Amino acid sequence: MDKLRNFFNGEEDTADEQNGIIDQTDVDFVITDSFQLSNSTRFKGFVACFVIGFLLFILASFPLFLPGGVKIFVIFYTFGNILLIASTCFLMGPINQLKKMFAPTRIIATILVFVSLGLALYFALIRRIAITSLLFIIIQTLAMLWYSLSYIPYARDAVKKTVEACIA
């Protein structure tokens, strides 16, 4: 809690910066000091990626109903999702982020997110099948939602119970 309080007060945590990324992970290769970011730089990177990703979501909706606009929609929407995932890498570091993404409770949602990202782009850019691209965008959105809910305690259980109550 003190780290979080210091982060938002703008105070640098020198103990973490001196230890660097190597002491926080099980990485076997050496990372130089140039890869270490201060807390304020991490936060700025997070905000920049998050805002750009959110803007891509908004921009994606405009060409959706134009002829051939599904391709642009899929590209903007998918890259918006990629930037949102990348934004969290600034906060916790890319290796720690990957460890959390592939934790046993999130691995299925993570794989589903990455597969749907790739297949949505594949069907939009290479195969040019709009309806299949939109199907994978829906899967991508639901997988990202399920993945995001895994970070909130008991959120998945609440969603399951709500869906069960609506169906029954």
Q: What is the pLDDT of residues 72-86, one digit of tens each?
A: 999 999 999 999 999
User: pLDDT at position 29, please?
Assistant: 43
Residue 130 has which token pair? 């709009």
User: pLDDT at position 137, please?
Assistant: 93
CA atoms of 50 and 151, how far apart (whole Å): 17
CA atoms of 143 and 140, how far apart (whole Å): 5
Q: Is residue 12's pLDDT more than 90?
A: no
Percent share of the chain, pLDDT over 90 = 44
User: pLDDT at position 18, please?
Assistant: 43
Residue 108 has which token pair? 């299925």
Q: Is residue 11's pLDDT more than 70?
A: no
> Residue 8: pLDDT band by 50, 70, 90 thresholds?
low
User: pLDDT at position 136, please?
Assistant: 94
Phi-psi region of 25 (alpha: psi -120 to 50; beta: other; left: phi over 0): beta
User: pLDDT at position 112, please?
Assistant: 95
Average the pLDDT over 82-108 and give the result.
Answer: 89
Percent share of the chain, pLDDT over 70 = 79
**pLDDT tens-digit readout, 14-65:** 444 444 443 444 444 444 444 677 888 889 999 999 999 999 988 888 888 8
